[in-house]
Chains A and B, each alone.
Chain A
Amino acid sequence: MKPKQKLVFGLILLLLCLPQIVFAAPNVNFLLEKIDEVTNLRTDGTAKVEVTQQKAGEGVKLYKAIYYSRDRDDSFLIVFTAPEVEKGNGYLKQGDNFWMYRRNTRTFQHINRDESIGGTDSKGEDFESKKMTELYKPALDQNGQEKLKETVLGKIPVYQFEVAAKTEDVSYPKRVYWIRRDNYLPLKVQSYSLSGTLMQTSYLLKYTKIQGKYLATKRIYIDEFEKGNKTIVEIKNISIKKIKDYVFTKAYLEHLSK
């Protein structure tokens, strides 16, 4: 082959490969790592949380709580300030120990991480910081290809991909994510049961940037199984000041609930 022919052949090869090099979509594992990277806020944090729960035939309930968290040792403390029936009740998690505090009886009780928090649809495990890459892996289609595509959500360019649970320790064994292409923030998540029924759609409407990481401050969870049920979670007054050790104690929870 002459040098000229070699050059032409090389150019053709380059042209054929260029779209795959330049426009290749990242794989799902990369995207999961990116989600962990942009959202994994490892700091102390204090915030006010409002949970608006709408249930078909039961009207709307507004729950308000103060939330303290320390990612260093996986601790958090929640004290309800509304509604009246929940006011003063709280939850404290220190490592493996998880307690529920009842103001009326002034008692602490050990509970499991999969028990409901204050009558809401949230569970203790929802407040734990877990990495996406530890929980989920890419779901594959019949040809063994990852279920990943580029699309738009509204007008926002997103990656849409499906993941399957790596462990049995998650509520939903299958999830579909829509994440922004520019900063990898999840905008929409659909959660499916083991039988493949769509159970929940969540929209992550607002994010706040803290120390270079993103925290979703407004989320809507739509119950797809029982139509008409909806939960809105809003996180306000966020502070990332270091929290003193005495905050994550039973005594402080008891003091706060007064």
Chain B
Amino acid sequence: MGLITMLSIRNLLRQKKRNILLGIGIAFGMMILVIANSFSHGMVDVLINDVVSHAFGHLVVNGKPANSYYSTIRDKERIMKIIHESIPKEEIVTIEESLGMFGRAIGNGEADNVVVVGVKPETDNDQADFFEEFFTLVEGDFSNYFSKEIEYPVIISEEKAKSLKVKINDTIRVRLPMITGQMQAVKLTVIAIANANNSFMNIILFMEADRVKKLLGYKPWESADLQITLKDPKKTAKKYAEILHSKLNPEVISISGQVAEEPAFLLAFQNNSAAKNVLKKNLKLTQGDLEKGLAKKGVMVSNILAQKLGLQPGSKFIYQYETKFRGLREEKLTVDAIYQSHSALGQNVVLVNEEVIHENLNRYLPKTLDSTLVASSNSLHSILATEWKLLERSDNVDALKKKYKTEKKRKSKQNNFDLITMYEGASQILQMEYVLNMITGIAVLVLFFIILVGVINTLRMTIKERTREIGTVRAIGMQKKDVRNMFIIETLILTALSCIAGVVLGMGVIKGLSLIEFNTTNFLSVILKNKHLYFKPSIMILSSYFLFIMMLTGIITYFPARKAAKLTAVEALRHYE
């Protein structure tokens, strides 16, 4: 250790009372900083990883018929494939179906509102961890969650069990709407009373996902919203949303099927005036009424196909096509108009308004859509309807609301697909992070200011007291820079030791606060983890605060120390108070 450093330490010990008081001030400031920072990080962690990821997902693929509450992705396998093509496997933590429905539950003489939610571990091996991660068991046995003997086993929170007056093995009757809008009523058996790690989930009745899916009326190949939990959502959610969005582009409706054993293609045109005007210009009618053919229920047939099948306007016929999941589908159609076969559309063609086909197309998905039938370079390609409407990405929650308002006005049976990141879907929750960071930032600034004032004040007093001493050491040969460094090192050692003490103290307080149990159910309970405050100290940020304080101290000490060092020996020795 150098002589200057030793002198600095000795000087520190000479003014014990003053330095201890300043040290306590800095340590206290640092302690507050550690607590505030860890609390804000803990809260954000709970919000993003517990609330947002479970309730909203970091990235959500939403598919639903226009004007419907209930989300239904008709071909889960296809969308999952697109997701895996868009996001690297290592970036995905989980992909879960958002299976949940509000309902009315009746327990032992008491009724209450509930949400029935379907959850299951990714693999069978994850079962033990899954329950431990999510719940704190109060009573019962989690192993019955997957029991085949019980029709609908359910995990209920302590709070909900109390409100419904139910115990283990009791039955809860629940009424809830299915995705079709039909009413469903079932008896659920309480297999465990357990509190979820976040008390905002206390309203939820947890049930195995496949059972909930069946209860809500989903077919095995269908899916609710797909919630993707990402490894680093803050960095990647928006990026992968853009990639996924570009790959979710729908295909044109061009179904290969047959009419009375005659191969025929079914094409659908868009139900808007622009598309209809293009058709009016391009199609030559041979029989029937074009206006009727272009109407919402309009069906037109090419003259070649009409001739082969002997179809006339008003003729009823059945269009058959192979579906992906439900065998052969028969569409009963009535001819409104017959047009002269157009080279851009092909010869054996049934051309319908998209509204004729959308509803059934969603339920009876064709095995394949023959995209080669009408090439994208084709003049009429732009007027053909697509299998779904991919909604534009929204930048923020306001844009998302505006988009949905517009969509609500659209009267179509066409499915919508949308991609929502947590920044739009759970923006209000994420705003809490912003507020917390603001509060922490302000606290940091105030603390830095206090430290600054304390250090400057102490240093000025020290320099004043030791002016004659500076004269002595300068007279016996100490260089200017050594005098300056001695003061700087003295202050830096004091600051460093105080900061370390502050961190240790802060960690102790965090430990103590984490032990307090909060039995609250109000909105603030969402920031609790297992009924306790959750702190997550960030070593990176605390280190940066430490370095910043040291740097700040160094800078503010430098100038008075330099001033003191510049004194000549004679000047300094002449100083008298």
* Chain B residues numbered 224-245 whose CB sits less than 8 Å from any CB in chain A: none
| B117 CB-CB contact with A under 8 Å | no
1/0 contact string of B261-287 vs chain A (CB within 8 Å) = 000000000000000000000000000
CB within 8 A of A225: which of B173, B178, B217, B405? B173
Q: Considering the chains assembled together, what is the distance between the CA atoms of A81 and B405 in angstroms?
A: 28
Task: Tell me the count of chain A residues lying within 8 A, CB to CB, of chain B.
Answer: 22
Decide: A169 and B186 in contact? CB cutoff 8 A.
no
Decide: A172 and B182 in contact? CB cutoff 8 A.
yes
Decide: A225 and B408 in contact? CB cutoff 8 A.
no
Residue of B nearest to A229 (CB): B111
* A114-B69 contact given A193-B183, A194-B184, CB 8 Å threshold: yes
* A172-B183 contact given A56-B111, A112-B69, CB 8 Å threshold: yes
1/0 contact string of A24-55 vs chain B (CB within 8 Å) = 00000000000000000000000000000000
* A110-B409 contact given A226-B104, A226-B106, CB 8 Å threshold: yes
Residue of A nearest to B178 (CB): A194
Chain A residue contacts of B180, Cβ below 8 A: 168-169
Decide: B184 and A195 in contact? CB cutoff 8 A.
yes
1/0 contact string of A223-250 vs chain B (CB within 8 Å) = 0011000000000000000000000000
* Chain A residues numbered 148-202 whose CB sits less than 8 Å from any CB in chain B: 165, 168-173, 191, 193-195, 197, 199
Residue of A nearest to B174 (CB): A225
| B175 CB-CB contact with A under 8 Å | yes
Q: Considering the chains assembled together, what is the distance between the CA atoms of A170 and B178 in angstroms?
A: 11
Decide: A171 and B67 in contact? CB cutoff 8 A.
no
Decide: A171 and B175 in contact? CB cutoff 8 A.
no
| B439 CB-CB contact with A under 8 Å | no
Residue of A nearest to B183 (CB): A193
Decide: B104 and A195 in contact? CB cutoff 8 A.
no
Decide: A193 and B175 in contact? CB cutoff 8 A.
yes
Chain A residue contacts of B185, Cβ below 8 A: 193, 195, 197, 199, 225
Decide: A193 and B184 in contact? CB cutoff 8 A.
yes
Q: How many whole Å from B337's CB to the nearest CB in chain A?
A: 24
Q: Considering the chains assembled together, what is the distance between the CA atoms of A100 and B69 in angstroms?
A: 17
| A120 CB-CB contact with B under 8 Å | no
Residue of B nearest to A125 (CB): B181
**In the complex, which of the residues A97, A191, A193 has the most CB atoms of chain B within 10 Å of its own CB atom?**
A193
Inter-chain contact total with CB atoms closer than 8 Å: 58
| A141 CB-CB contact with B under 8 Å | no
Decide: A199 and B181 in contact? CB cutoff 8 A.
no
Chain B residue contacts of A56, Cβ below 8 A: 111
CB within 8 A of B182: which of A110, A173, A197? A173
Q: Considering the chains assembled together, what is the distance between the CA atoms of A191 and B185 in angstroms?
A: 12
Decide: A170 and B111 in contact? CB cutoff 8 A.
no
Q: Considering the chains assembled together, what is the distance between the CA atoms of A45 and B111 in angstroms?
A: 39
Chain B residue contacts of A191, Cβ below 8 A: 183
Decide: A171 and B111 in contact? CB cutoff 8 A.
no
Chain A residue contacts of B181, Cβ below 8 A: 114, 168-171
**In the complex, which of the residues B181, B186, B405 has the most CB atoms of chain A within 10 Å of its own CB atom?**
B181
CB within 8 A of B175: which of A112, A165, A199? A199
Q: How many whole Å from B280's CB to the nearest CB in chain A?
A: 24
Chain A residue contacts of B186, Cβ below 8 A: 195, 197
| A96 CB-CB contact with B under 8 Å | yes
Q: How many whole Å from A49's CB to the nearest CB in chain B?
A: 23
* A110-B405 contact given A56-B111, A193-B175, CB 8 Å threshold: yes
Q: How many whole Å from A202's CB to the nearest CB in chain B?
A: 14
**In the complex, which of the residues B68, B173, B185 has the most CB atoms of chain A within 10 Å of its own CB atom?**
B185
CB within 8 A of B106: which of A96, A171, A199, A225? A225
Q: Considering the chains assembled together, what is the distance between the CA atoms of A171 and B181 in angstroms?
A: 6
Q: Considering the chains assembled together, what is the distance between the CA atoms of A193 and B177 in angstroms?
A: 10
Q: Considering the chains assembled together, what is the distance between the CA atoms of A194 and B411 in angstroms?
A: 28
Decide: B68 and A170 in contact? CB cutoff 8 A.
no
Q: Considering the chains assembled together, what is the distance between the CA atoms of A131 and B83 in angstroms?
A: 44
* A199-B411 contact given A56-B111, A225-B106, CB 8 Å threshold: no
1/0 contact string of A63-77 vs chain B (CB within 8 Å) = 000000000000000
Chain B residue contacts of A197, Cβ below 8 A: 173, 185-186
Q: How many whole Å from B403's CB to the nearest CB in chain A?
A: 13
Q: Considering the chains assembled together, what is the distance between the CA atoms of A194 and B184 in angstroms?
A: 6
Q: Considering the chains assembled together, what is the distance between the CA atoms of A171 and B175 in angstroms?
A: 12
Chain B residue contacts of A194, Cβ below 8 A: 178, 182-184, 217
Decide: B111 and A226 in contact? CB cutoff 8 A.
yes
Chain A residue contacts of B411, Cβ below 8 A: 96-97
Decide: A225 and B175 in contact? CB cutoff 8 A.
yes
Chain B residue contacts of A170, Cβ below 8 A: 181-182
Residue of B nearest to A111 (CB): B408
Residue of B nearest to A165 (CB): B182
Decide: A171 and B183 in contact? CB cutoff 8 A.
yes
Decide: A112 and B68 in contact? CB cutoff 8 A.
yes
Chain B residue contacts of A171, Cβ below 8 A: 181-183
Q: Considering the chains assembled together, what is the distance between the CA atoms of A194 and B181 in angstroms?
A: 11
Chain A residue contacts of B104, Cβ below 8 A: 225-226
Residue of A nearest to B66 (CB): A112
Residue of B nearest to A97 (CB): B411
Q: Considering the chains assembled together, what is the distance between the CA atoms of A226 and B181 in angstroms?
A: 19
Decide: A112 and B183 in contact? CB cutoff 8 A.
no
Chain A residue contacts of B175, Cβ below 8 A: 193, 199, 225-226
Q: How many whole Å from A190's CB to the nearest CB in chain B?
A: 13
Q: How many whole Å from B553's CB to the nearest CB in chain A?
A: 57
Q: How many whole Å from A130's CB to the nearest CB in chain B?
A: 14
Q: Considering the chains assembled together, what is the distance between the CA atoms of A114 and B179 in angstroms?
A: 12
Chain B residue contacts of A114, Cβ below 8 A: 69, 181
Chain B residue contacts of A165, Cβ below 8 A: 182
Chain A residue contacts of B111, Cβ below 8 A: 56, 226
Chain B residue contacts of A169, Cβ below 8 A: 180-181
1/0 contact string of A107-148 vs chain B (CB within 8 Å) = 000111010000000000000000000000000000000000
1/0 contact string of A210-231 vs chain B (CB within 8 Å) = 0000000000000001100000
List the 8 closest pairs (A to B, CB-CB), nearest first. Answer: A197-B185, A168-B180, A193-B185, A96-B411, A110-B408, A193-B183, A225-B175, A110-B409
* Cβ contacts A to B, 22 pairs, < 8 Å: A97-B409, A110-B405, A110-B408, A110-B409, A111-B408, A112-B408, A114-B69, A114-B181, A169-B181, A172-B182, A172-B183, A191-B183, A193-B175, A193-B185, A194-B184, A195-B184, A197-B173, A197-B185, A199-B175, A225-B104, A226-B106, A226-B175
Given A170-B182, A226-B104, 8 additional A-B pairs, CB 8 A: A110-B409, A112-B408, A114-B181, A165-B182, A169-B180, A170-B181, A171-B182, A194-B217
